[in-house]
Structure 1
Amino acid sequence: MKWYERLLVALIALSALAMWLPWVWHRAAALVLTGLDLHEFIRFMGEVRTGQVRASALPLCAPLLVQALTLAGIAGCSHWTVYGKGTALALAAWLVAVIYPPLEQPKVLATIWLLLLAAFVAMVFIHPAACFRVALLAIAGLAASVPPLVQFLVLLPALDRLYGRPVTVGVGFYLEAAAGLGCLVVGLAAGAVCRPGRHFSAAAAIRQG
């Protein structure tokens, strides 16, 4: 992997990490909301349940889902050992299970796990060129960061009303924004220096016999 690919992967990981950090900060620890807390919290917000505020938990899941998909894809097209690939897939499966607990949503969890496996197998056979990988990673980074940021901004007025005063936006939100901006900048910069070239493809090797 090129340095800019590694940087994009790190930014996507940073995007996922931001979900464990506070998005709503309060001096009282019980009123602090992390990104993962918001994923559950909005389901019980009165304005969301009555339809006054259009919100969904899915955009807030984007960083972890994209991180899981990225891990599966990288494991498929990398030259890691079997143990390395297995560890990456296990971590990807765990990230999805954080959002969709096995005992609560087993069908959804199983479906996403199958998609991760499909991404892994696809990358094994396609083994895309560096330029294509950069494009995929940059798009993945934006797909991880933009949905939760937009969803949070939509929810912010309702959160202000719920808390009875303007809430203090936590570090998780800003870290998510930084990760998304970083993916955009690095993706554009890498696209400027990346040059299409020949690359090994397992599928091509099979066709050639």
Structure 2
Amino acid sequence: MQRWLLPLACLVTLAGVFGPWVAHPAAGLVITGLDLGEYVKFLPTVQRGEIWLWRPGFYAPLVCVSATCSLAAYRRDLGYAPWLRGLLLLLALVSALNLLPPAWTPQRLLAAEFRWQTSALVLLLAALGLSPLLALLPRSQAAAAASLAALAALVFPIQGFLAILPAVGALMARPISPAWGMWCTVAGLLALLIAWWQPKRAATPSTIM
């Protein structure tokens, strides 16, 4: 079951990140999980320092998915067929590239504001390239690394989002509650944690066609 749960959990997490965290009848006012890292910079309460949050933390789910896929793709105990391995590597790449800031340029990537995102992007692309070697890590180490990433992805964006929710509601002049994107992200990350810590079960590539 773990072999299927890992890619499914990654897909669910990404669906949540790209889905709405703040819903609104006007499409232009919908805020997705991917938007939050940029959106919070323009909130007056954040600019005045009345709300503390770690802005790069909103990208933690993307980091988690990319790292998890790179760690899992070539593991022999998971026994992924080539097509499913290719899907995991594609998810790792897509997740990593979404760390790029809007309208990015090489100069902008080196700016202090985006230094964390740029560093994470470089590390994730390196992990993607080294995925066959990462598969040699003991299962306990891979599970621990992926679990730490999942826990960070559960804490930082959710804490930050709930902290700014009243300010967003005040701007929109209407009560705001978390939309399905947030819950989908949480469900996917919890599923990732469960998947990594399921009992080990031997598999061969032929088991998933």
Q: Shift in Å at residue 112 of structure 1?
A: 3.3
Asked if 1:98 is matched to 2:95, the reply is no
Partners of 2:4 and 2:86 lie apart in 1 by: 19
Q: Shift in Å at residue 140 of structure 1?
A: 3.2
Partners of 2:134 and 2:64 lie apart in 1 by: 21
Matched with 1:115 is 123
Matched with 2:42 is 44
Q: Which has the larger radius of gyration?
A: 1
Q: Shift in Å at residue 91 of structure 1?
A: 4.7
Deviations 1:107-131 (A, max 9, x none): 4466434312543437616613444
Superposition map of 1:1-209 within 5 A: 3-75=1-73, 77=75, 89=89, 91-101=91-101, 102-103=104-105, 105-107=108-110, 108=115, 111-120=119-128, 121=130, 124=133, 127-187=136-196, 190=198, 193-194=199-200
Partners of 2:90 and 2:193 lie apart in 1 by: 28
Matched with 2:206 is none
Q: Shift in Å at residue 186 of structure 1?
A: 4.5
Q: Shift in Å at residue 95 of structure 1?
A: 2.5
Judged with a 3 Å threshold, the aligned counterparts in structure 2 of structure 1 residues 146 and 5 are, in CA distance, closer, same or farther, namely farther
Partners of 1:32 and 1:139 lie apart in 2 by: 30
Deviations 1:83-125 (A, max 9, x none): 9877755653443332214426434466434312543437616
Secondary structure, counterpart of 2:175 in structure 1: coil
Give the TM-score of the pair, scaled to structure 2: 0.72
Judged with a 3 Å threshold, the aligned counterparts in structure 2 of structure 1 residues 113 and 138 are, in CA distance, closer, same or farther, namely closer
Deviations 1:137-159 (A, max 9, x none): 34333333332111111111211
Deviates more, 1:117-126 or 1:49-58: 117-126
More helix by share: 1
**Structure 2 gap ranges (5+):** 203-209
Judged with a 3 Å threshold, the aligned counterparts in structure 2 of structure 1 residues 122 and 56 are, in CA distance, closer, same or farther, namely same
Q: CA RMSD in A?
A: 3.3
Q: Could you tell me the percent identity over the aligned residues?
A: 28
Q: Shift in Å at residue 52 of structure 1?
A: 0.9
Partners of 1:175 and 1:87 lie apart in 2 by: 20
Judged with a 3 Å threshold, the aligned counterparts in structure 2 of structure 1 residues 176 and 136 are, in CA distance, closer, same or farther, namely same
Question: Per chain length, whose mean CA-contact separation is higher, i.e. which structure has more relative contact order (CA < 8 Å, sep 6+)?
Answer: 2
Partners of 1:53 and 1:65 lie apart in 2 by: 24
What residue identity is the alignment partner of 1:23?
W
**Structure 1 gap ranges (5+):** 198-209
Give the TM-score of the pair, scaled to structure 1: 0.72
Deviates more, 1:153-162 or 1:115-124: 115-124
